[in-house]
Amino acid sequence: MERLPGFRDFYPDPVPSGDALAWSAGLRQHIQATWRRVAQRYGFVEYDGPPLEPLELYTLKSGEEIVQQLYHFVDKGDRAVALRPEMTPTLARMVASQERHYKKPLKWFAIPQLFRYERQQKGRLREHFQFNADIVGESDPAADAEIIALLVDTLRAFGLGPADVVVRISSRQAWQAFYRQQLGRTETDPAHEYAFYQVIDKLERTPREETCRRLRELGIAWEQVEAFLHQCSPTQELQVVLNELRDRGLQDFVQLDYRVIRGLAYYTGVVFEAFDRKGEFRAIAGGGRYDHLIHLVSGGRVDLPALGFGMGDVVLTELLKARGLVPAPQLRLHVFCLVEEPSLRREVLQLAQQLRDAGWAVDLPLGPEKPDKQFKRARDAGARFTVSLTREADGTKVAMVKDLQRREQIRCAPMEVLRRIQDATMSSGA
Ligand code: HAM
């Protein structure tokens, strides 16, 4: 049976080679643990929602592009449902329903698995994990700076520096002002306005003639867009954000860039995207302010400003691999208890239980196996110690603890094993 296209299998290390969609479960764990650690450092708390949501949650305001990519169906109760393609609408729904129980601003993060029926390409699959961090209930641009600082520090926590990555910062408001000025009116057709944002969003991936043609159809001249892109002066709000990032010493990681506008329809203010500096990969992360989404999702009941970002694991993994920043797989085992003498299996089990109770990762042979095979298994699993029991001629039981890292061995009484292992790891700082 084949795996569905664009979906991954996560295998233990070492991952079998030759299958681009066989990924490392250990690396996934490293990425998610790093995301959690940095989020907590910034005072964010974790939430989660269901992977299946009402279809309408996405047709409301996510925009045409993501709606076309939905995995959706009618369930047995005749409900139109969709697998979540992004987390923001779920967050908006959850906040709208329970916000009165929480003090504002909320600083919430989640690590959902998301599903989008995309054309499979480099950096884009049909399923990915995405770190989402959002602040709800704060309209001050200091919140925009805080969320961008979290994005930068998350990248730094993986070992990426300002020569590797950049967060390009822009403003939907600035673009909206430009758009309205071009059309010469303040009231505009939202579909027409969004169509314009889509052209800007795809600017770097579309041939210039095609962009010019699409702009012409919308009644906007390329030359005007080009001039706007080149002026490069920050709005007042963007200036505050840039200053706050400079005060944190993160200025080398960010740059004002009006080419960023974001594809999703709900953004209203500062928007940003993180890229690798060399421009080899798709966006690593993207986000911005969406001050009206909660109002919309709550049917007008709750009105809270919000902002955040999503960072996917797919491009991030490609980039970490390209920059040699994937850590060596974690050693899986501390101790392997050998059963060299089958009549002592009961005592070995007692010892293994004692070590596991003390928190050590311990394995042992489950069936009869030759001692050299057992030892090889201990080595393959990366065990630091092996322990075996023997019976002396006078019937007393003796333990042999081998430290495979230091190439030392100690003979001791079985009840001494735990303490000996604790001492050995303490003295080597393991
Ligand atoms: P997004 O730009 O659609 O934003 O996705 C954010 C990141 O998720 C992308 O930069 C990319 O790394 C990753 N990503 C998206 N689609 C795929 C895919 N098909 N395969 C692999 N990776 C992918 C959002 O989803 C917004 N909801 C983020 C947000 C949170 N805005 C405010 N709060």
Q: Give bridge partners of residue 134 from the DSSP assignment.
A: 108, 308
pTM over 0.95: no
The rounded Å distance from CA 286 to ligand 1 centre is 6
Evaluate: CB of 310 within 6 angstroms of ligand 1: yes
Please give the helix or strand (H or E) that residue 152 lies within, else none. Answer: helix 141-157
47-70 average pLDDT score:
90
The β-bridge partners of 385 are 335, 403
Question: Does 309 sit in the ligand 1 pocket, CB within 6 Å?
Answer: yes
Kindly state the tokens that stand for 427.
Answer: 């003295």
pLDDT in tens, 351-400: 999 999 999 999 999 999 999 999 999 999 999 999 999 999 999 999 99
Least confident of 179-188, 345-354, 359-368: 179-188
The pLDDT, as a whole number, for residue 429 is 57
What pLDDT, on the 0 to 100 scale, is given for residue 41? 98
Ligand 1 centre distance from Cα of residue 87 (Å): 9
**What distance in Å separates the CA atoms of residue 61 and residue 49, rounded to the nearest whole number?**
19
The residue nearest atom 13 of ligand 1, judged by CA position, is 312
For each of the domains in the chain, give its residue range(s) and CATH number, in order of start. 9-322 (3.30.930.10), 335-428 (3.40.50.800)
Residues 290, 268 contacting (CB under 8 angstroms): yes
State how far the Cα of 203 lies from the Cα of 228, in Å rounded to an integer.
14
- In this predicted structure, what is the pLDDT of residue 258? 95
Task: Write the DSSP symbol of residue 190.
Answer: H
Residue nearest to atom 26 of ligand 1 (CA): 310
Length of the chain in terms of residues written: 430
Identify how many contiguous H helices and E strands the chain contains and give both numbers: 15, 19
CA distances from 148 to 41, 141, 270 (A): 14, 11, 10
pLDDT at 231: 80
Cα 371 to ligand 1 centroid, rounded to whole Å: 51
CA 417 – CA 195 distance, rounded (Å)? 70
Ligand 1 pocket test, pick from 28, 44, 57, 86 with the greatest ligand atom count within 8 Å of Cβ, gives 86
Measuring from atom 8 of ligand 1, which residue has the nearest CA?
A: 312
